[in-house]
């Protein structure tokens, strides 16, 4: 399993212009018969993906919530590291990060504000009518979030 995940960027070598989204979660090794979280492997895959594809590598996670689940914390820590490395380059580089909210019933203002602290290039909000979710998000609030993303 590990080699499949590590070698995934090579599968997309033919797409030289297209941004590629790779959703990362904490890897759970099951070879021992027990699920063992291995965030360092997830970090390795994420770093390899970004280093092999540069700014075409859109690193993603589809579990944005506030607070984060304990398993997501190491992933988001590495997102912050990738961002810091990219803006620290000369000249500063784009660090494409994409988040999807954890579900359709999260506390939107709190979750989006929290997600913005990680400097994403986009935050995808669940279809709020699915699974009984209802979001009372005003147009002005959406515009404010969009402006915050642009200002990153």
Buried b (16+ CB within 10 A) or exposed e, 11-45: ebeeeeeeebebebbbbeeeeeeeeeeebebbbbb
Instruction: Tell me how many domains the chain contains.
Output: 1
Give CA–CA dist 26/62, Å, rounded.
12
Q: What is the pTM of this model?
A: 0.79
Q: Give yes or no for a cis peptide into 129 (omega within 30° of 0).
A: no
> What pLDDT shows up at residue 5?
61
Give CA–CA dist 12/56, Å, rounded.
11
> What pLDDT shows up at residue 3?
63
> What pLDDT shows up at residue 33?
59
Kind plus residue range of the DSSP H or E element containing 100 = strand 97-101
pLDDT in tens, the chain (152 residues): 556 666 666 777 777 788 888 888 887 766 665 566 777 888 888 888 888 888 888 999 988 999 998 888 999 999 999 899 889 988 888 889 999 988 877 888 899 999 999 999 999 887 666 656 666 678 898 899 889 888 76
Please give the structure tokens belonging to residue 66: 């506030």
Show Cβ contacts of residue 41 under 8 Å, excluding neighbours closer than 6 positions.
Answer: 2, 5, 27, 29
Give CA–CA dist 65/147, Å, rounded.
20
Give CA–CA dist 61/113, Å, rounded.
16
Helices (H) and strands (E) in the chain, counts: 5, 6
The domain of 51 spans: 2-150
């Amino acid at each position: 399993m590990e080699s499949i995940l590590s070698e995934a960027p090579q599968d997309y070598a033919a797409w030289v212009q297209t941004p590629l989204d790779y959703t990362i979660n904490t890897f759970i090794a099951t070879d021992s018969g027990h699920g063992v979280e291995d965030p360092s492997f997830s970090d390795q895959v994420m770093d390899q993906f970004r280093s092999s594809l540069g700014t075409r590598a859109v690193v993603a996670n589809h579990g944005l919530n506030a607070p984060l689940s304990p398993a997501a914390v190491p992933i988001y820590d590495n997102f912050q590291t990738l961002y810091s490395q990219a803006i620290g380059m000369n000249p500063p580089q784009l660090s494409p990060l994409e988040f999807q909210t954890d579900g359709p019933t999260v506390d939107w203002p709190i979750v989006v504000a929290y997600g913005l602290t990680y400097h994403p290039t986009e935050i995808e909000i669940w279809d709020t009518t699915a699974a009984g979710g209802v979001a009372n998000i005003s147009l002005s609030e959406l515009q404010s979030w969009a402006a915050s993303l642009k200002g990153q």
